[in-house]
Amino acid sequence: MAADVGTPVCAGDRLATTDAYEAGEGVYVRDGFLFASVVGLRRVEQPAAQGGKPALCVATRGSQPLVPKPGDVVTVKISRVAQTAAHALIMCVGRQALSTEFKGVIRQQDVRATEIDRVVMYDCFRPGDIVRAEVVSLGDARSYHLSTAKNELGVVYARSAAAGVPMVPTGWVSMQCPETQTTEKRKVARLEGLAVAEDK
């Protein structure tokens, strides 16, 4: 198959519609759209059979080395949630994938801008969630301090505990499983082009 390498993408990025492409490696389908499930480079593979649709993939190799710095918007994967902080692995800076592993921590006081003392970490993040955050500072030699205290920052991709499928945002503090209709609490990022219940 011929491969067409495109621009860098982050997990949760909307790539195309299912009318034009099949979902390939590193891509999942939701509501008629294809989304990146990993950080990497957008790639189009031509169909093996005549008349078939090309497959849209995200290749995880070939990224350039990069180091996060304060002020950068990063995409992270939550690895552990404690009472006062969520621990994460930084996957990309902006739209550039990282080839070196960096760790980050979202402290309770950095989750949101208001009602900081009422933040419950497990109601905001769960292990495996993909989160858009801002680098606040280099906390220590091994971990960056991160913040989600802006509307456009927070969870961009999460799987439901009930069915293990990607959930859909239903508000700024909740996401819903499309299969079981179960609602789970999250600190949801405001995604461009996606409306949620409180918009009405």
What is the assigned CATH class of domain 63-195? mainly beta
Q: Are strands 14-17 and 33-36 parallel, antiparallel or unpaired?
A: antiparallel
Q: Does domain 3-59 have CATH number 2.40.50.100?
A: yes
- At 32 the pLDDT is 87
Sheet of strand 27-30, all strands in order from the earlier edge strand to the far edge: 14-17, 33-36, 27-30
Q: pTM of whole model > 0.75? A: no
- What is the phi/psi pair of residue 35, to 5°? -125, 150
So what's the pLDDT on residue 199?
36
How much is the pLDDT for 192?
Answer: 56
Res 149: pLDDT: 95
Please report, in tens digits, the pLDDT of each residue of the chain (200 residues total). Answer: 444 456 788 878 888 898 889 888 888 888 889 888 877 888 888 876 677 788 888 877 554 456 788 899 999 999 999 999 999 999 998 888 887 788 999 999 999 988 888 999 999 999 999 999 999 988 765 689 999 999 999 999 999 998 889 999 998 899 999 999 999 999 999 865 444 443 33
Q: What is the DSSP string of 62-115?
A: -PPP----TT-EEEEEEEEE-SSEEEEEEEEETTEEEEEEEEEEEEGGGS-SS-
One fold for both 3-59 and 63-195? yes
What is the domain partition of the chain in residue ranges?
Answer: 3-59, 63-195
